[in-house]
Amino acid sequence: MLIIIALVLALIPTIAILWPFVVGVRRDEFAEDESAPIADLMRRWDAAVAGLKSSELDHAIGNLTDQDYRTIRRQLMTEAAVVLKTMELEEAEEEQMLTAVRTEMQAVRARVLGETISES
Amino acid sequence: MIVESGQLALVLALLATGYAVVASVMGVARRSPELVMSGRYGFYSTVILLLVATAALVHAFVTNDFSVRYVAENSSLAMPKAYTWVALYAGNAGSMLFLAIIFSAFALVAVGTIRKRLPYTAPYATAIMAMVLLFLLAVMVFLANPLSRLDVVPLDGQGINPLLVHFGMFIHPPVQMTGLIVVAIPFSIAMGALLAGKGGNDEWVDLGRTWGMIAWLILTLGLLLGSWWAYTILGWGGYWAWDPVENSALMPWLAMTAFVHSIMVQKRRGMFRMWNMVIIIIGFTLAQLGMFINRGGPVPSVHSFAQSAMGWIFLGFMAFTLVASIAVFVSKVDTLKSRGRLESMLSRESAFLAQNIAFLAVAFVTLWGTVFPIFSETASDVTITVGQPFFNLVNGPLLLFIVFLMGIGPLLPWRRATIGGLIRALRIPLAAAGVVGLIFMIVGPRQPVATVAFMTCAMVLAGIGHEWVRGTQSRHRKGENYAKAFMMLLSANRPRYGGYVVHISIIMLAAGAIGSSFYSVQRDLVMSPGDTETIGEYTFTYTGTTHQSHPDREEDYAQFEVYSGDTYLGEMEPFRAVYPDFRIASTRGAIHSTPLEDFYIVPSDFSDGGQAVFRVLINPMVWWMWASGPIMILGTLLALAPRREPSPATLRVPAGMRPAGV
């Protein structure tokens, strides 16, 4: 009986450990990088929006003078705008890269298969 | 057979955890998703294995299987079955198993959340958590196995330490131990981010803050519950005695309090990146120090139930993690440059920095006072114990300064403030402090330090209240009714107002501590049945004693009829129990508690003929300390409640505000 229990217990970590190798992984663990520029931009965006919210509140309740509020708001809006602009650039760069890949694939197909299929 | 199954489960958990460490690190190094996932699943499987081991130990307790050494040492036939839960962690080996199962369960949840949001950090964080668990399991398997058998089976067990037979034992030790070990989670996230080279852009901050707050809340509740427990057994010196074990729980709490504040600066401003790493390293080191002292460390304490050499093994692991953390920190320090800069010394960031330094100063003073006996013994062969007067003298002003900063900090905006603005914001809080000071001068007992302390508390409360009123009025002016405006104010700014709710609970705690420290009345009385005494408003008559014999103890219950003025408060029945086998006497005070004050009777000694010695106290405002707990939980949950900021797509930046070229 003890042997059966031992086998059952040993199966628990064994199955857990072997599962990814046997069944495979559905999703690449490293598909998304927390340090990717877009993730960093999102954090900067969140910080800017949170800053705007709290400066609005601090101004509304009188903790922040009009002049300081205007200065801080300008800084944070600039930060938010820079983030937006950079995101647009990121998207543009991504589009450029995708276009380059498509062109390259067409060239490969043409070279290897003799096909001339347009990506439309 | 069940015990052997538990033993096997422990060994398998050790192997699976070791595999998790290796697979996680190798997996991320080789960019192998299969290996990373395999390590993670191996780590998950330890929860099931540890549940099996725990179930085996519980079964041994329930069936009085005294062939298991730990069961024989920590239970007896006379022990009520309800205390099986207490016995599970009453000794060293059992508490290790408790730490392991609790940590593995928390780590499972933590890894589950980290892997989705921090994919590159997660394998390293998993490896660090697995190393912590590996240490606990290795100690159990090789040095202190809670499921090891005895060669000769005793007919009965030694029983549980009588001081542990108390309702408080059901909740305080597990919560305290959980708090200490859960500090390992934000530490693992921070170190994991550093190792992955992902610490430089605040990637880990959100999850580090969340888990830091969870650890902080559990530590806080552990301290509160411990204080409440000690209070009901007055022989321990009230609710706080600056005992080494109490201190060892307080120190990581101080560091984690500093951390949950300073991490907000990193989240909002991209600053304090190095500082936060340093604080979390200090926090985890102090948490381990707490576990070291609690497990037969070298410092004498009324709490050290389990004397053993195991404490030194904890010290060794603490030294290892400290050195390793410093090495990682130094090697990656270049990646931790701040994004923002301190724009003004008059800002919320500066207040957080000052508060952080004050918290660490209290932690350092407490550490010095706690370990001083070791140094004194090493230097001069004489153990000099540092007592309450030292801690009160040095930490008292520092804690008051922290409370003062609690009143100033929230009134300061991020980035910068002006002196004029601060003075304007402080008018109401300072007026409230002045009113309280005036009341104390006119009607209160003359205690200048206590008066200043209460004035500071009033300033903090008035500051919070005033801000809530102004915030609500601001929303009301935009058309919301007052109730809705107030709820929306809280809902829209949860971290901020959750923090304020926690501040209110801290003020309740501080008020209780100040009131009972400065205005407590205490008398020791020798009374015979029929005697009546008066202290303050209270008149009490000692009507007699009832004796009860139990297999393991002799109990004497004293009966009192108690009046406050002309109002009959009822009968109070403190008791004293003597455990001959353990040569221990345990007392339970009888308390009549109101928000204003506690009337407290505790027996010191009983003699023949019913004559007895009692300590009678009036402790003002202690009720507020226990009432602060639920409010603290509420505030923390409010601060932790997630709220996603609108994505960039939902916000249009006005053209005039765009920088050049945008």
pLDDT at A92: 67
What lies within 8 Å, CB to CB, of B345 at 6+ separation is none
Does residue B485 share a domain with residue B553? no
Does a structural domain hold residue B218? no
**Per-residue pLDDT reduced to its tens digit, B9-62:** 999 999 999 999 999 999 988 888 899 999 999 999 999 999 999 999 999 999
**Per-residue pLDDT reduced to its tens digit, B432-460:** 999 999 998 888 777 889 999 999 999 99
CA-based R_g, chain B, Å: 27
Contacts of B33 in chain A (CB under 8 A): 20, 25, 27-30
Work out whether strand B567-572 and strand B554-564 pair parallel, antiparallel, or are unpaired: antiparallel
Residue B26, both tokens: 């190798």
Residue B622, both tokens: 């202690």
CA B18 to chain centre: 30
Distances (CA, A) of B597 to B116, B232, B600, B619: 51, 15, 9, 5
Dist. CA B457–CA B463, nearest whole Å: 10
Does residue B463 share a domain with residue B539? no
- Domain of B567, in residue numbers: 521-620
Mean pLDDT, chain A, integer: 78
CB B537 within 8 A of CB B592: no
Least Cα separation, residue B632 to chain A (angstroms): 23
**Amino acid identity for residue B571 in this structure:** E
Least Cα separation, residue B269 to chain A (angstroms): 7
B618: left (phi over 0), alpha (psi -120 to 50) or beta: beta
Nearest to residue A18, comparing CAs of B37, B18, B111?
Answer: B37
Does residue B631 share a domain with residue B606? no
Instruction: Choose the final residue of a domain: B139, B165, B191.
Output: B165
Does a structural domain hold residue B103? yes
Q: Which of B201, B493, B645 minimises the CB distance to A46?
A: B645
Does a structural domain hold residue B58? yes
Q: What are phi and psi of B440, to 5 degrees?
A: -65, -35
Look at residue B241 and tell me whether its pLDDT is greater than 50. Answer: yes
Quick check: pTM over 0.90? no
What lies within 8 Å, CB to CB, of B419 at 6+ separation is B346
Dist. CA B36–CA B42, nearest whole Å: 10
Dist. CA B232–CA A102, nearest whole Å: 76
Question: Which of B14-23, B484-493, B540-549 shows the lowest per-residue confidence on average (mean pLDDT)?
Answer: B484-493
The pLDDT of B81-106, averaged and rounded, is 89
DSSP state of B336: G
Look at residue A16 and tell me whether its pLDDT is greater than 90. Answer: yes
Does residue B631 share a domain with residue B605? no
What lies within 8 Å, CB to CB, of B438 at 6+ separation is none
Which of A34, A44, A59, A64 best tests the B interface by mutation, with the highest count of B CBs <10 A? A34
Nearest to residue B68, comparing CAs of B7, B161, B146, B140?
Answer: B146
Does a structural domain hold residue B395? no
Residue tagged 């983030």 (tokens): A83
Distances (CA, A) of B101 to B144, B277, B311: 16, 27, 20
Dist. CA B141–CA B224, nearest whole Å: 33
CB B134 within 8 A of CB B18: yes
Does residue B561 share a domain with residue B445? no
Does residue B556 share a domain with residue B429? no
Does a structural domain hold residue B632? yes
Mean pLDDT, chain B, integer: 87
Dist. CA B403–CA B424, nearest whole Å: 20
Instruction: Choose the final residue of a domain: B108, B130, B165.
Output: B165
pLDDT at B661: 37
Residue B510, both tokens: 């501080």
pLDDT at B651: 46
Dist. CA B617–CA B286, nearest whole Å: 35
Dist. CA B343–CA A76, nearest whole Å: 14
Does residue B633 share a domain with residue B576? no
Q: Which of B4, B411, B414 minimises the CB distance to A51?
A: B414
| Record: contact A25-B37, CB cut-off 8 A | yes
Does residue B637 share a domain with residue B609? no
CB B305 within 8 A of CB B164: yes
Which element (helix H / strand E) includes B179? helix B168-182
Dist. CA B590–CA B602, nearest whole Å: 6
Q: What is the DSSP string of chain A?
A: -HHHHHHHHHHHHHHHHHHHHHH--SS-TTSS-TTSHHHHHHHHHHHHHHHHHHHHHHHHTTSS-HHHHHHHHHHHHHHHHHHHHHHHHHHHHHHHHHHHHHHHHHHHHHHHT-------
Least Cα separation, residue B39 to chain A (angstroms): 7
Residue B652's pLDDT band, with cuts at 50, 70 and 90, is very low
CB B500 within 8 A of CB B470: no
**Partners of B523 in the β-ladder:** B616
Look at residue B234 and tell me whether its pLDDT is greater than 70. Answer: no
**Per-residue pLDDT reduced to its tens digit, B461-475:** 999 999 899 889 888
Residue tagged 């998950």 (tokens): B44
| Record: contact B41-A12, CB cut-off 8 A | no
| Record: contact A30-B41, CB cut-off 8 A | no
Contacts of B134 in chain A (CB under 8 A): none
Does residue B603 share a domain with residue B471? no
CB B590 within 8 A of CB B231: no
CA dihedral B295, B373, B380, B309 (to 10 degrees): 0
**Amino acid identity for residue B619 in this structure:** N
DSSP state of B66: T
CB B414 within 8 A of CB A51: yes
Does a structural domain hold residue B588? yes
pLDDT at A113: 59
The pLDDT of B331-359, averaged and rounded, is 87
Look at residue B304 and tell me whether its pLDDT is greater than 60. Answer: no
Contacts of A79 in chain B (CB under 8 A): none
The pLDDT of B623-635, averaged and rounded, is 93
CB–CB contacts below 8 A, A to B: 192
Look at residue B345 and tell me whether its pLDDT is greater than 70. Answer: yes
Does a structural domain hold residue B64? yes
Sign of the dihedral through C-alpha A74, A79, A85, A87: negative
In terms of pLDDT, which residue wins out, B76 or A35?
Answer: B76
Q: Which of A1, A28, A64 minimises the CB distance to B413?
A: A64
CB B58 within 8 A of CB B71: no
Look at residue B648 and tell me whether its pLDDT is greater than 60. Answer: no
CB B556 within 8 A of CB B545: yes
Does a structural domain hold residue B294? no
Residue B1's pLDDT band, with cuts at 50, 70 and 90, is confident
Does residue B579 share a domain with residue B514? no
Dist. CA B145–CA B587, nearest whole Å: 33
For chain B, the domain total comes to: 3
CA B619 to chain centre: 23
Distances (CA, A) of B236 to B232, B381, B582, B588: 9, 27, 18, 11
Contacts of A32 in chain B (CB under 8 A): 119
Does residue B636 share a domain with residue B615? no
Does residue B541 share a domain with residue B509? no
